[in-house]
Amino acid sequence: MNLGNICDILQKVGHSIKVSTVFISNKTNEEDEMKKLVKNNVYWIGKMDWELESFHGADYSINHGSSQNAYLIQEEKMVLIDTVWKPHSTEFVTNLESEIDLAKIDFIVANHGEVDHSGSLPALMEKIPDTPIYCTANAVKSLTGQYHHPEWNYQVVKTGDSIDIGNGKKLIFVEMKMLHWPDSMATYLTEDNILFSNDAFGQHYAVEELFNDKADQCKLWEEAIKYYANILNPFSPLVKKKVEEIVALNLPIDIIAPSHGSIWRDNPLQIVNKYYEWSQGYQEDQVTIAYDTMWDGTKQLAHKIASEISEISPDTRVKIYNISHTNKNDIMTEVFKSKAIAVGSPTVGQSILSSVGGWIDFLKELKFKDKKAAVFGCYGWSGESTKVLREKLTDAGFQVVEPEIKCNWNPEDADFNKAEQIAKALIDN
């Protein structure tokens, strides 16, 4: 099955919709607006976090805020889908209590046990301790391991299981193992045709207007590809398989409601199409050069390689980043888009700079495929950096080309002349 077939199938079963205007609850000035209408009896009840600057500790940079999206379904049964991060749990529960009687929540769906989605469960379950929690078997392990409440009323589900919520509607569960945790799943609401996709199809991007057609499109796609490159790329084979599996279920999809960022209501299949494309060794006509330097010799080599690539192949996009001065996630996004990279470091301690070493460890973690690499660097005495770089990049899955620049002291013409060889090796098919 190719991308075109998938798109055709999804478009045939999908329906165009317009989402109603946003409902603004009656809050005091001190309280956040919480409940916003998504469609019919489905509401966003999450947290718009404008002050968030990093995620996964400091491992993921946040440039434009983010959101933790939770959802409330009010049919004959009342269903809560996910919660928000623990630091916002008091605010979340208080606001939710102002909107509904918590005791009327029939059950909770925990699509993923990570704390940004489940962190408010302990505070909520104190008030409604017997409420069923629908989740995968792995999510039971995750939630009990994190919160130490084995007595919670867990209801284990798997792909294809469903539950009736009244008014002719039901929820269908789809396991999303390793997208991006073993416990992950998505939940589909029939009739309204909403896919609550959890961490798939999201972005770390605060969109107060909530929907993709209201978002700044440049920022939206910038954050979407960054999210895929830095979080989901290691699981690309599973992404491809899961997209195909969802298609095989023949579910019409009008809205994709992820757990971070904008809700896709305008042509929601566009993000599905992109994920399918990104999952298959994605690359553009781009070369990314990443380096660190001690006394600017390695920096000079980086810029010379870039100029040679531009000279030989003017249509090829070239980007240069100092690893110590540029956020690693932003560099990795560019690596994801690239068909080749060049990595440089001077020799220090018979190895490479620690900044470059740590960066390559992260590079290996992301499991990029079908990309070339070249190495370069300056040295004063022992000169091991290019050897170390070559070994590490090979271990990270890159095809390392033979030409390299190993420069003793400051670069001279003989060193700069080697840049052309590297450029040709990187851009040749």
Q: DSSP secondary structure string, 191-224?
A: TTTEEEEETTT--S---TT-BGGGS-HHHHHHHH
Nearest CA-CA partner of 240 in 198, 272, 211: 272
Find the angle CA(370)-CA(231)-CA(248) to the nearest 5 degrees.
80
Nearest CA-CA partner of 311 in 426, 425, 423, 429: 423
Q: Which residues are catalytic?
A: 56, 112, 114, 116, 180, 199, 227, 260
Distance CA 236, CA 219 (A): 23
CB-CB contact of 340 with 372 (8 Å) = yes
Distance CA 185, CA 208 (A): 26
Distance CA 372, CA 288 (A): 11
For 322, the token pair is: 């100092």
Torsion of CA 325, 330, 331, 337, to 10 degrees: -160
Q: DSSP secondary structure string, 348-360?
A: ETTEE-HHHHHHH
Nearest CA-CA partner of 183 in 82, 273, 88: 82
Helices (H), ranges, 115-183: 115-118, 121-127, 137-147
